[in-house]
């Protein structure tokens, strides 16, 4: 895996590259100005302790929940969402325990649009309730069996109750993208007039495309005056893109979970979203979140749910900042921004050049020669590079294999120099 700057050793076939000051060009990825866009002023509702509990492997005891909550709070998330206290007695006790921690982040709990759940939740000490009910024909017929008139009436009653307790309240439809648009907008208009802090749209089955998300959020933005929260499942691989498009269209809040864990394939991952947003709004993201903590948080959650961090995970995947092809390595050694849109230093990580392969270039090998404390001419480096490639064509090689070739080649040159009595000596030193 990618190592932090103070790591004892690099992966066994990679070489850490010393960072050099880099003047990165002005951001060409800044979106076109749009007064509705919130890509530079969004808020995160971190749902690892709610949506994440629905991940197949998840079992968070109270101690683990508290560790995760504290880590997320230290990282800088705006809200931490917890499992409904109506789910179980331990869920209620855990909710109360986390509310007593005195965290900077606001604590929310996710409850059904049901007065019994709401009354139980307000007694736990949370800062707000996230109320939800299914609105698609699928869920109205096969889940709760209620019509839109009942949904609207019940929503308004629960919202009024929560507001009377002085708490934040969000109302969200479930399965928003398979709901009737007229029904959806009528419902949102009603709860907006009732004074909710946020309305939520949820791609509950991960069916939405970025264009669909943009269109719905943009339309909704013209109907409600309150904030808009978004929740995207990743069944079709669009969760990060959908969250970004929602912010572009005027959404204000995004639900995330660490490593994206959740029901089925999970939701928008915290690290992946911030990788996307760092490219677009670097000053905002760096000022708001402690990015160097992301690996520590992901390791904590990965261990708790007994999974490995995916190799291609944004930021923390073991090869996220690893460069292998010779052309890439040469450019990276000259200026890392040539093949990196993210700077590993922003996350407390290190980039590596993978030079022990048949794809390596002599510039990468030259860097390794210097790291080994040896000196060779460019022609000599090119010759030893050819030897490394020759072995790598026969079998996979590790960094020790490549180092052995370099040292043996250098020793041969040095011995030739020691035995030479006439003529120019090869330009090598130890």
User: What is the predicted pLDDT for the residue at 370?
Assistant: 85
Q: How far is CA 266 from CA 47, 53, 184, in A?
A: 11, 10, 24
Q: Which position among 233, 253, 323, 328 bears the catalytic label?
A: 328
At 407, is the secondary structure helix, strand, or coil?
Answer: helix
> Measured on CA atoms in the order 411, 416, 418, 423, is the torsion positive or negative?
negative
pTM of the shown model: 0.83
User: What is the predicted pLDDT for the residue at 227?
Assistant: 98
User: What is the spatial distance between Cα 350 and Cα 347, in angstroms, rounded to a whole number?
Assistant: 9
User: What is the predicted pLDDT for the residue at 193?
Assistant: 98
User: What is the predicted pLDDT for the residue at 321?
Assistant: 85
- Cβ atoms of 328 and 337 within 8 Å: the answer is no
Residues in a beta bridge with 172: 132, 200
> Measured on CA atoms in the order 395, 398, 402, 403, is the torsion positive or negative?
negative
23 φψ region: left (φ > 0), alpha (ψ -120 to 50), beta (else) = beta
Provide the pairing of β-strand 322-323 with 352-353.
parallel
- Cβ atoms of 233 and 203 within 8 Å: the answer is yes
User: What is the predicted pLDDT for the residue at 31?
Assistant: 60
At 124, is the secondary structure helix, strand, or coil?
Answer: coil
User: What is the predicted pLDDT for the residue at 33?
Assistant: 62
231, containing H or E segment: strand 227-232
User: What is the predicted pLDDT for the residue at 427?
Assistant: 44
User: What is the predicted pLDDT for the residue at 42?
Assistant: 98
- Cβ atoms of 164 and 156 within 8 Å: the answer is no
User: What is the predicted pLDDT for the residue at 360?
Assistant: 87
Give every strand in the sheet of 15-16, ordered side by side: 15-16, 352-353, 322-323
What are the extents of the domains in the chain?
A: 43-305, 322-415
**In 3D, which of 317, 347, 304 has the Cα closest to residue 11?**
317
231 is catalytic: no
User: What is the spatial distance between Cα 149 and Cα 190, in angstroms, rounded to a whole number?
Assistant: 11
Q: How many CB atoms lie within 10 A of CB 77?
A: 26
User: What is the predicted pLDDT for the residue at 2?
Assistant: 35
- Cβ atoms of 278 and 286 within 8 Å: the answer is yes
Provide the pairing of β-strand 253-256 with 227-232.
parallel
User: What is the predicted pLDDT for the residue at 15?
Assistant: 61
Q: CATH top-level class for 43-305? A: alpha beta
User: What is the spatial distance between Cα 78 and Cα 95, in angstroms, rounded to a whole number?
Assistant: 17
Q: 322-415: same fold as 43-305?
A: no
User: Each residue's pLDDT tens digit in the chain (430 positions)?
Assistant: 333 343 434 555 566 665 554 545 556 656 656 789 999 999 999 999 999 999 999 999 999 999 999 999 999 999 999 999 999 999 999 999 999 999 999 999 999 999 999 999 999 999 999 999 989 888 888 888 889 999 999 999 999 999 999 999 999 999 999 999 999 999 999 999 999 999 999 999 999 999 999 999 999 999 999 999 999 999 999 999 999 999 999 999 999 999 999 999 999 999 999 999 999 999 999 999 999 999 999 999 999 999 999 999 999 998 888 887 878 878 878 888 888 899 999 999 988 888 888 888 888 888 888 888 899 999 999 999 999 889 989 999 888 888 899 999 999 988 876 555 444 434 433 3
Provide the pairing of β-strand 168-174 with 128-134.
parallel
Q: CATH fold of 322-415, please?
A: Recoverin; domain 1 (1.10.238)
């Amino acid at each position: 895996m990618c190592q932090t700057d103070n790591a004892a050793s690099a992966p066994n076939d990679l070489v850490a590259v010393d960072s050099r000051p880099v003047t990165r060009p002005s951001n060409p990825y800044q979106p076109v100005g749009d007064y509705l866009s919130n890509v530079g002023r969004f808020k995160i509702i971190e749902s690892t302790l709610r949506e994440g509990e629905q991940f197949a492997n998840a079992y968070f005891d109270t101690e683990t929940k508290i560790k995760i909550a504290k880590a997320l709070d230290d990282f800088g998330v705006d809200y931490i969402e917890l499992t409904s206290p109506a789910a179980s007695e331990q869920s209620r006790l855990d909710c109360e325990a986390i509310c007593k921690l005195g965290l900077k982040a606001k604590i929310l709990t996710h409850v059904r649009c049901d007065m019994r759940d709401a009354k139980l939740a307000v007694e736990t000490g949370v800062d707000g309730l996230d109320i939800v009910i299914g609105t698609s024909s699928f869920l109205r017929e096969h889940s709760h069996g209620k019509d839109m008139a009942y949904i609207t009436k019940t929503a308004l009653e629960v919202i009024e109750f929560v507001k009377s307790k002085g708490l934040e309240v969000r109302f969200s439809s479930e399965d928003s993208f398979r709901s009737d648009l007229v029904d959806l907008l009528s419902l949102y208009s009603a709860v907006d007039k009732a004074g909710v802090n946020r309305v939520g749209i949820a791609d509950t089955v991960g069916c939405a495309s970025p264009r669909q998300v943009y269109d719905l959020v943009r339309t909704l933005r013209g109907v409600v005056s309150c904030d808009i929260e978004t929740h995207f499942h990743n069944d079709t691989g669009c969760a990060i893109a959908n969250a970004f498009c929602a912010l572009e269209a005027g959404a204000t809040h995004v639900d995330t979970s660490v490593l994206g864990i959740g029901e089925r394939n999970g939701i928008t991952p915290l690290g992946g979203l911030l990788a996307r947003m760092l490219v677009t709004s670097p000053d905002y993201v760096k000022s708001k979140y402690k990015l160097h903590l992301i690996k520590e948080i992901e390791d904590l959650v990965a261990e708790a749910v007994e999974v490995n961090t995916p190799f291609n995970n944004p930021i923390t995947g073991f090869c996220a900042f690893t460069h292998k092809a010779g052309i890439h390595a040469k450019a990276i050694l000259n200026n890392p921004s040539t093949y990196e849109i993210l700077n590993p230093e922003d996350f407390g990580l290190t980039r590596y050049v993978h030079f022990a392969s048949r794809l390596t270039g002599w510039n990468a090998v030259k860097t390794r020669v210097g790291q080994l404390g040896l000196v060779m001419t460019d022609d000599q480096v090119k010759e030893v590079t050819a030897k490394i490639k020759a072995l790598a064509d026969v079998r996979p090689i590790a960094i020790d294999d490549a180092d052995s070739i370099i040292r043996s080649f250098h020793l041969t040159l040095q011995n030739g120099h020691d035995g030479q009595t006439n003529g120019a000596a090869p330009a090598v030193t130890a």
